Amino acid sequence: MHPDSPSSRLPAPGRRAVLGAAATASVLAALPGTASAAPATPAGRAQPVRKGPRALPGGGDLGPNVLVFDPSTPNIQGRLDEIFRQQESAQFGTGRYQLLFKPGTYHGLNAQIGFYTSISGLGLSPDDTTINGDITVDAGWFNGNATQNFWRSAENLAVVPVNGTNRWAVSQAAPFRRMHIRGNLNLAPTGYGWSSGGYIADSRIDGQVQPYSQQQWYTRDSAIGGWLNGVWNMVFSGVEGAPAQGFPNPPYTTLATTPVSREKPFLYLSGSEYRVFLPEKRTDARGVTWGNGTPRGTSLPLSRFYVARPGVTAATLNQALAQGLHLLLTPGIYHLDQPVRVERAGTVVLGLGYATLIPGGGVTALKTADVDGVRLAGFLVDAGPVNSATLLEIGPHGAWRDHSANPTTVQDVFIRIGGAGPGKATTSMVVNSRHTIVDHTWVWRADHGDGVGWATNRADYGVVVNGHDVLATGLFVEHFNKYDVQWLGERGRTVFFQNEKAYDAPNQAAIQNGPVKGFAAYRVGDGVTSHEGWGLGSYCYYNVDPTIVQHHGFAAPNRPGVRFHDLLVVSLGGNGQYERVINDTGSPTSGASTVPSTVVSYP
């Protein structure tokens, strides 16, 4: 980095998270539970038949926590401010909100976005809905530190910033999708305090993206006017205008295209009718999907969705799915006493406003079958107090079918263990289905909040990939008691990985992995013959026992088909140490200077 660059004048980044901080008539006709001809008795009289549950309707009202605005709505700013006051510091609160803006032009707004708040346009293109103003995330609530600005999103809007620069100072679980910024985009808080993001996809920033203190960032399939600086790990795939490959100095990992991508489903208006657009899959993708007219894909009317409200049971959700309906989860908290079972090919489960699933009694929150084209997007899974063996299962154990033509996508689906209260899970996310695309997730064993402790919110494994040909684009997994990621399937690929090892290990013995000091953040199974990763980072901050030594951040079989590009490990302020980067390769981290140890290519 040039000594006069903006980030070179900043203090060295600190640790990220600081404690203290209906269905249509034609569909319904064929659904189970509808009336059928009654069997006749010998006398010719019909016997009464036992009917199943009444068919659930599709479509309907989006509920009180979805606010829909049009340019003529009075006092939009006042309503935005009211929600922000409630949500600004409600990191583990129960409020959930979706802000929807109908196509048109809005003037003089500053939409400040707090926790569990999503703001979206209702056009087919971001340019259908223009805000002359700002969509702002800052960190005043946390004294200028943005490292806990989680769980918020912006999608499908054009923004003309008042002063030429829009501020989006976020950390994990805060996606910025299908956005058009007609100016610059600043990713740091006022005062350039710490921030630890983040994710941009399918967006156009006409001006410069200004990360400043951002420790890492992943940008996918977008177009930018320039990129100002980098701290540790800035990764780009399929981004027009991305900086050239430069890792480790400057810390840019740049892929010309994204191997496979399919954008997240989104709600839009067609006339006065709500529909959900389903973007098509792209291979070797580059640039935005919406730049030249109508995006490519299909759409579904809202009448094909069961519009769920908080308080409905898992049995009701499963009945809707069995009827052939998709699920639209409106904002709020859903308590589950059995798994939500997605068994039909092409099913969409779309959450609004960080709809949150909490499994009770140790069940898994959601399971999918080994079928084509499932789309899971836009919701949070929060572990319950009774240990779940798993929280999210993509495909059953032993799934084998080829889904290359129509993969399952998991997008902006976030998992949390602890923080909002005691939670436990042995493994958070298991991916068994082949060709699954995990496009932006944050799987987090909480390091602060309620119900937090080495054994209190115990969670051994973050993400386990058993399926072959799985692709992860934007993989954030943190603080697990053992392996954060275990990749056991063949031909797996990861573009961008961000990790912190668990802060709260009480001593060296607690993390000992047989003869190895500590569990790797990202482990490729010993039997895997083909795997590849780009732009992967792991950090340690052993604040309970700073003398803990972690042998390496990454573990993989040493064979030609298993390849890594641009790896780094960092000891935050000297709290703990890595001896190596991957296997026995790479220099140790040392001292309190928070300088990464890097490996450009492995093997």
Between CA 439 and CA 218 the distance in angstroms is 11
Q: Which helix (H) or strand (E) is 322 found in, with range?
A: helix 314-323
Summarised one tens digit per residue, pLDDT across range 431-457 is: 999 999 999 999 999 999 999 999 999
Query: Over the range 14-37, which residues count as b (16 or more CB within 10 Å of their CB) and which as e?
Result: bbbbbeebbbeeebbeebeeeeee
Higher pLDDT, 47 or 369: 369
With H, G, I as helix, E, B as strand and everything else as coil, classify residue 318.
helix
Between CA 324 and CA 523 the distance in angstroms is 38
Angle ∠(567,562,412) on CA atoms, nearest 5: 60
Summarised one tens digit per residue, pLDDT across range 385-418 is: 999 999 999 999 999 999 999 999 999 999 999 9
Higher pLDDT, 536 or 7: 536
pLDDT at 120 over 50: yes
Concatenate the DSSP letters of all residues of 23-81 into one string.
--HHHHHTSTTS--PPPBPTTSPBPP----PPPPPPB----TTEEEE-TT-TTHHHHHH
Please give, one letter per residue, the 3-state secondary structure of 171-230. CCCCCEECCEECCEEECCCCCCCCECCCEEECCEEEEEEECCCECEEEEECCEEEEECCC
Query: In the chain, what are the helix, strand and coil shares in percent, each to the nearest 5?
Result: 10, 40, 50
Between CA 149 and CA 155 the distance in angstroms is 17
pLDDT at 8 over 70: no
| pLDDT value of residue 591 | 82
Summarised one tens digit per residue, pLDDT across range 11-52 is: 333 444 332 323 322 222 332 332 333 333 334 455 555 566
Summarised one tens digit per residue, pLDDT across range 490-548 is: 999 999 999 999 999 999 999 999 999 999 999 999 999 999 999 999 999 999 999 99
Q: Which helix (H) or strand (E) is 509 found in, with range?
A: helix 508-511
Between CA 122 and CA 130 the distance in angstroms is 11
Is 500 marked active-site? yes
Of the candidates 485, 443, 493, 435, the residue with the CA atom closest to the CA atom of residue 461: 485
Pairing of strands 273-279, 266-270: antiparallel
Of the candidates 378, 323, 381, 314, the residue with the CA atom closest to the CA atom of residue 341: 314
Burial class (CB in 10 A: 0-12, 13-18, 19+), 246: middle
Of the candidates 151, 19, 169, the residue with the CA atom closest to the CA atom of residue 94: 151
| pLDDT value of residue 300 | 98
Burial class (CB in 10 A: 0-12, 13-18, 19+), 81: middle
Torsional sign, CA 576, 578, 579, 583: positive
**What is the residue-averaged pLDDT of the chain?**
92
- The edge-to-edge listing of strands for the beta sheet with 273-279 is 266-270, 273-279, 297-301
Pairing of strands 461-465, 97-101: unpaired
Between CA 172 and CA 337 the distance in angstroms is 28
Summarised one tens digit per residue, pLDDT across range 302-333 is: 999 999 999 999 999 999 999 999 999 999 99
Burial class (CB in 10 A: 0-12, 13-18, 19+), 527: exposed
Residue in the block written with tokens 């060296």: 508
- What the block records as the tokens of 597 is 């140890």
Torsional sign, CA 595, 588, 496, 141: negative
Mean pLDDT of 217-241: 98
Contact by Cβ (8 Å): 478, 445: yes
66, amino acid identity: V
Residue in the block written with tokens 């895997």: 528
pLDDT at 428 over 70: yes
- What the block records as the tokens of 48 is 């009464």
Q: Residue 297: what are its φ and ψ, rounded to 5°?
A: 155, -165
Pairing of strands 233-237, 252-255: parallel
Higher pLDDT, 358 or 11: 358
| pLDDT value of residue 466 | 98
**Residues with Cβ within 8 Å of residue 198, at least 6 apart in sequence:** 168, 170, 171, 172, 174, 176, 187, 214, 216, 217, 218
**Residues with Cβ within 8 Å of residue 64, at least 6 apart in sequence:** none
- What percentage of the chain carries pLDDT values higher than 90? 90
- What the block records as the tokens of 8 is 């070179």
Please give, one letter per residue, the 3-state secondary structure of 259-309. EEEECCCEEEEECCEEEEEEECEEEEECCCCCCCCCCCEEEEEHHHEEEEC
| pLDDT value of residue 362 | 98
- What the block records as the tokens of 132 is 């002359």
Mean pLDDT of 449-477: 98
| pLDDT value of residue 24 | 28
C-alpha to C-alpha distances, 496 to 27, 233, 463, 541, 565, nearest whole angstrom:
41, 9, 15, 20, 10
Between CA 357 and CA 563 the distance in angstroms is 36
From the candidates 343, 500, 532, 579, give the one annotated as an active-site residue: 500
pLDDT at 5 over 80: no
Q: Quick count: other Cβ atoms within 10 Å of Cβ 140?
A: 12
Between CA 206 and CA 601 the distance in angstroms is 33
**Residues with Cβ within 8 Å of residue 461, at least 6 apart in sequence:** 426, 427, 428, 480, 482, 483, 484, 486
Range in 38-42, 177-181, 217-221, 454-458 with the lowest mean pLDDT: 38-42
